[in-house]
Amino acid sequence: MSTKLLMPGHYWQDLAVGDRFQTLKRTVTEADLVNFISATGMLEAIFIDAHYEGGAIAGRPVPGALTCALIEGMQFQTLLQGTGLAMLEMSVRAIGPICVGDTIDGVIEITGIRPTSKAGRAVVKSKVEIFNQHRALAMVYEVARLLKGRE
C-alpha cells in the first residue's frame, strides 16, 4: 500500500499570476517572542521589558522580523513544501504593530512567474499581506523565490 505525502507544495506550473492563498491563523505568544529575541540577539528594551514605558506602542510588541518569519513558516509547511528551492529577494514594509496575543494570518498573491534557463525551475514573485485579528494590515512584503517544477 502506498502512502501519499500530506500537503506537498505547489510546482510553479500549478501557479498563475493573480492566484491568491490564505494561511491559517496563528496567535503570537510570549514564548514566540522570547525564543525569537534570544535566538537572534534582538534584545531591545521594548522586547525584553514587559513594563517598558518609553514606547509608543501599547501592549507587548514583537519584532517585525518575527511577524514575517511566522508567516514564512506557514508558507513553508504548505505552499512551498518540497518545491521551494531558494529565496532570491525580499522587500518588507511594516505598517502597524503586532503584539503578543495578536492573531495573524497572511494573504499571498502570485505576481509573477518567469521560467529559468535551467529546465524545471522558475522565479516566482509574490506579494504577502499580513493582517491581525481585526483585519488591520500590519505588514506587506514582496518576495522572489526559485521554485521547482514537475520532472
CB 123 within 8 A of CB 136: no
Give all domains of the chain, ordered by start, each with its CATH number: 12-28+62-148 (3.10.129.10)
| pLDDT per residue as tens digits for the range 81-99 | 999 999 999 999 999 999 9
Could you tell me the pTM of the whole model?
A: 0.92
Task: Please tell me whether residue 34 adopts helix, strand or coil conformation.
Answer: helix
Cell of 147: 521554485
Contact (Cβ atoms closer than 8 angstroms) between residue 148 and residue 85: yes
Beta-strand pair 103-115/20-22: antiparallel
- Which helix H or strand E contains 136, and what residues bound it? none
pLDDT of residue 8: 80
For 33-44, the pLDDT digits (tens) are 999 999 999 999
